[in-house]
Amino acid sequence: MLEPTYFSRYVPGILFTPSICGLILILAATVSLAQVKPASTKAIDTRADRLKEQFVRDAARLAQEYENAGNLPKAQEMLSVILKMTPGHAGVRDKIRELEELQVTSNELTFDLDLKTGWSRPVARVSKGGQVRIVAEGNYRINFTAVLDADGLKGQDAVQGGYAEELRYGQLIGLIAPATGNTGPQTRGNRGRKSQDETPKPFAIGMKDEFSPKESGVLFLRVNVPNNCTVTGRLKVTISGEVTPMS
């Protein structure tokens, strides 16, 4: 057992080991720091607020210049920076929404989709992360043709390809194929996203859809029916946003 130390004289009955002494020193230092009153930062806060206000003014000026130059994504980027600095600024949030709508409604492509050919010809180039809107108007009739016996339809035996089973029958669907070396769309995909076999997959569009492609590429459209169906009618399609017409 350790011999009584100097501290034992002042706190009888307690054996002070080196670890206990260290704890006392730490506690004493903590108490001393807690008793120190921090200096006033009012002057520093004032300078920081002025710097923040100047930054917001400069960012707003740059956003306006980008908008005037027609670079809406850059204008939105600057406004987003302002919104991070001033989260409660409703005017900035409204302006961002206005630019988003302006961006997606600009650069419109309108055409009648050929319903008789399965996948359409390439209709537009799209960019990864860009905003794309597709609106379809019209109606059409689907006629299914197959040679049957008395047993009727036999599941997939009656389907002659071209049909994306995971999507709604008769729905307008799209596919984004790679822009280089493209020989036409396949029957797999998800907004340009690739599956494990690296084949793009179709995605649902319907009467209206807005999306941001996961990959850049060429957009194809079709009505989701098997190849042994005939489709008659008219479908007017409008594509807008960050799209480039095929030359």
Long-range contacts of range 52-60, CB-CB < 8 Å, 24 or more positions apart? 52/85, 55/85, 56/82, 56/85, 56/86, 59/85
CATH topology of domain 107-182+197-245: Jelly Rolls (2.60.120)
Provide the 3-class DSSP secondary structure of residue 26.
helix
Q: Provide the token pair at 105.
A: 């409604």
Reading the chain (247 residues) residue by residue, the pLDDT tens digits are 445 544 444 445 544 455 545 554 455 555 555 566 778 888 999 999 899 899 999 999 999 999 899 888 899 899 999 989 888 877 888 998 888 888 877 788 999 999 988 889 999 999 998 889 999 999 999 998 777 778 776 655 555 567 788 899 899 999 999 976 544 555 444 444 554 456 788 999 999 999 999 999 999 999 998 888 889 999 999 999 888 888 6
The phi, psi pair for 33, rounded to 5°, reads: -65, -40
pTM recorded for the entire structure: 0.63
CA-to-CA distance for 229 and 36, rounded, in angstroms? 84
